[in-house]
Amino acid sequence: MNIVIFGAGYVGMSIGTMLSVNHAVTFIEIDGNKRDLINQNKSSYDDQEINNFLDNHDCNISACLFKDINYDEYISILALPTNYDEQNDSFDTSALDETIELLEKDSRSIEIIIKSTIPIGYTSKVSSKFKNQKIFFSPEFLRENSSLQDNLYPSRLIIGNSHKGVYALNFEEAIKQSILLDKEFLRMSCEEAESVKLFANTYLALRVAFFNELDSFALKSNISSQNLIKGISADERIGNYYNNPSFGYGGYCLPKDTKQLSAQLKALEISSPIISSIDESNKTRKETITEFLSIAKPNSIGIYSLDMKLGSSNSREAAILDVIKLLKNKKIKLYLFNPKKTENNLGLIEETSLSKFIKNSEIILANRVPKELEEYRHKVFSRDVFYRD
């Protein structure tokens, strides 16, 4: 089966890599650098796991522009960005809209599978607009640092259709041939599948916010956050996982998905006091961290890494970015040591020498504590009580 994937970010690249063992996979990507990497049999971004997989398997991948597709028929998988538009209180689906319109004019596309996170009701809307029963939504549940593994060993497979009795049989078969465990698709309506995605990520944001509020209490009360969490998480109904305090949640999914669900519940006039407060809790957490740091009246604070978490390849909506903005208002001298050497547009004093960075910083701020900071723990301020995500 020929498969065309629109977008070669971590969602598209990881699912395409997995599928390319048994199928011909072509990525449609406007970024020329990403196309070049893929055509060299490499990941479109820095991911050692994907590169190792491509090196050790006979993968059939290529990249081109839409006009250069040369298949007689193919499955389309849409993994395009849907950033949250604050003005419209909704995901920006313009890239999806344009791509689906293109595919509607191309009879070679036999199924359209949306992987991008979308508003509840979007799939039905475009299906009705184009009178196309073969548009489906299949949510992804990937962690950025293990996206390939999460594709190979999925926690669940979900497919949502807009017309009862119409199934994405080709896509389902391609996935089941490629994953490394025995798993059946949960079939449901597209509205249900869209809701599963948003409610799942909102719950994860809620869990982060809960343990961060617990940690703020422990910080203020001068008691052990670790002991509190161990005692609470020993209850199997709560579980000892996804409970390590941080400066706040961030990244690609949780901030925007939580906002989207809250906005849709509000539009439906559904009272949702818990869900609608999660974003505010996350903002308050960053303010709490900033105020606690200010108590010591430091002359300088060092920021270790702009990344969302250890091993992350992005700093998108990382909590540390908001903490930095708040600290700048306190007129404290701020140093930055960024291991990934990503662009710094924050007006911080950047140090490329770790030893110099440590010497200049009265306090070192680290969302997660890496091994290279362990011997300087007396200087480090972090709420990383379990040394894991």
Question: Which residues are catalytically annotated?
Answer: 253
What is the crossing angle of helices 122-130 and 94-104, to 10°? 30
Calpha distance 142→148 (Å, rounded): 8
Q: Which long-range contacts (CB under 8 A, 24 or more apart) does 327-335 make?
A: 327/290, 327/293, 327/301, 330/290, 330/294, 332/294, 332/298, 332/299, 332/300, 332/301, 333/299, 333/300, 333/301, 334/300, 334/301, 334/302, 334/303, 335/300, 335/301, 335/302, 335/303, 335/360, 335/361
Token pair listed for 60 = 């059939």
Element (H, E) at 97: helix 94-104
Please provide residue 119's backbone torsions phi and psi, each rounded to the nearest 5 degrees: -65, 150
Cβ atoms of 117 and 131 closer than 8 Å: no
Token pair listed for 3 = 């498969």
Closest C-alpha to 71, from 35, 22, 24: 24
| Maximum C-alpha span of the chain | 67
